[in-house]
Amino acid sequence: MDQDMWSSLLKNVTCSECSSNSMQVITKSSFGLSNNLELTCGACGHSYGSTFSSNRSSLSKKFDVNNKFVRVFCRLVEGMLLLRHSR
C-alpha cells in the first residue's frame, strides 16, 4: 500500500485524543488481495476503526476482489488455450 498517499490525505487531520497530526492508515492483515485497514494515531496509538479494502459476497463471504481476480485469471488461461489450439 502506498503510505505517501495516506500521509497526503491525513496530514491536516487532528487526533481527538492527543491533538497531534500523526494520523496513519495501517494494514492489519491481508486476505489475498483484500486488506484490513485501520485508521490510527501514530502519536498516541488511538484507533478510529478498521475496514476491509474490498466488499464481501453476502452468500460466500469471500472478498469480491479475490473472486474477480480468479475469474480474470481463468479467462486468461482459456484465451491462452484457445490460441494454442488454433495454431
Q: Which residue has the cell 473472486?
A: 67
Continuous H helices in 1-87: 3-10, 64-85
Closer residue to Zn ion in complex, CB, 15/65: 15
Please list every residue from 31 through 70 that binds Zn ion, using CB under 5 A. Answer: 41, 43-44, 46
In the complex, minimum distance from the CB of residue 17 to Zn ion, in angstroms, rounded to a whole number: 4
Please list every residue from 8 through 27 that binds Zn ion, using CB under 5 A. Answer: 15, 17-18
Closer residue to Zn ion in complex, CB, 44/74: 44
- With a CB cutoff of 8 Å and minimum separation 6, the contacts of 63 are 31, 32, 33, 34, 52, 54, 55, 56, 57
In the complex, minimum distance from the CB of residue 33 to Zn ion, in angstroms, rounded to a whole number: 30
